[in-house]
Amino acid sequence: MAKQKIVTLMTDFGEEGPYAASIKGVLLQGIPSAVIVDITHRVPTYDVLAGAFILAQAAPYFPADTVHLVVVDPGVGTDRNILVARCGRQTFICPDNGVLSMVVESARLEAIVSVRNPRFMPLPGEAMTFQGRDIFAPLATYLLNGLDIHVLGPEPEVYKVLDIPRARDDESGIFGRVVFVDHFGNLITDIPGEMVRNRQWDLERLNVRCGGIDVGKIRGTYGFTKPGQKLALFNSMSLLEVAVNMGRACDVLNLGVGAEVSVTFDDRPGFERG
């Protein structure tokens, strides 16, 4: 049985209009049997950091040799490079704007090239505003059919990496920030659960604050609190998350990406948290 050829799409196009469908049409013309998986088309518009986060969280769950086509590209048609990378035994096609930053942090970078071969670039004078359809999608079909990425161009001397703040751990506690707000309004932070657990604190005595607002204890899951109650938890990504049971934490707390988050231990005698 022939191995499935899987390509994922992640864009900020939204669900309206012909854009995502046009890319799928090009892919299916090249490989009619391709398995096309939508990671999402609802990356916040032009939000490269959000795209980097979503891509890094989703990609590891796909089989080896999956091709990920990423179009979060506010610089489309400019002199920014187009990158093709092999990372974690998968292939990524994306603009050189930092959207690959978190992927290359979490998996081994095997190879990366900047697309320069004129065979794979549009002719001069052609429209430059939809390179996801006109360049990225045809590239994906070639790569799914076994094209060696080194045919596409040279290894770039440098490529853009986002300056992403990291959670820090010191004697007074653990400090990070919100890096993503999901569909449910949950505030996902950059604080790894492992960082908290390594302190070997009594979780019942932790003080979690987000944007200066007291959040409450770290719970096992949302339903361990009453509807409308704030909580913190370690989510399925093993990251600390601030949530409201059956509510939207981003709205209740009026906070979003960049809000500061702290986890501290209160060793006062008789300390209790609600």
- Would you write out the chain's pLDDT as a tens digit for each of its 274 residues? 668 999 999 999 998 889 999 999 999 999 999 999 999 999 999 999 999 999 999 999 999 999 999 999 998 888 889 999 999 999 999 999 999 999 999 888 999 999 999 888 876 656 688 999 999 999 999 999 999 999 999 999 999 999 888 899 988 899 999 999 999 999 999 999 999 988 877 777 888 999 999 998 899 999 999 999 999 999 999 999 999 999 999 999 999 999 999 999 865 444 344 3
Shared domain for 144 and 204, answered yes or no, is no
| Residues paired with 111 in a beta bridge | 86
Q: What are phi and psi of 68, to 5 degrees?
A: -105, 120
State the number of CA atoms in the 13 A half-sphere of 2 facing the CB. 8
Please state, in angstroms and rounded to a whole number, the distance separating the CA atoms of residues 7 and 9. Answer: 7
Q: Are 258 and 202 in contact (CB under 8 A)?
A: no
Residue 179 is part of a domain; what is its CATH number?
2.40.30.90
Tally the residues of the chain.
Answer: 274
pTM: 0.89
Domain count, the chain: 2
Alpha helices in the chain (DSSP H): 19-30, 48-58, 101-106, 131, 137-144, 193-197, 249-252
Does residue 160 lie in a domain region? no
Shared domain for 136 and 259, answered yes or no, is no
Shared domain for 119 and 25, answered yes or no, is yes
Residue span of the structural domain in which 249 resides: 168-265
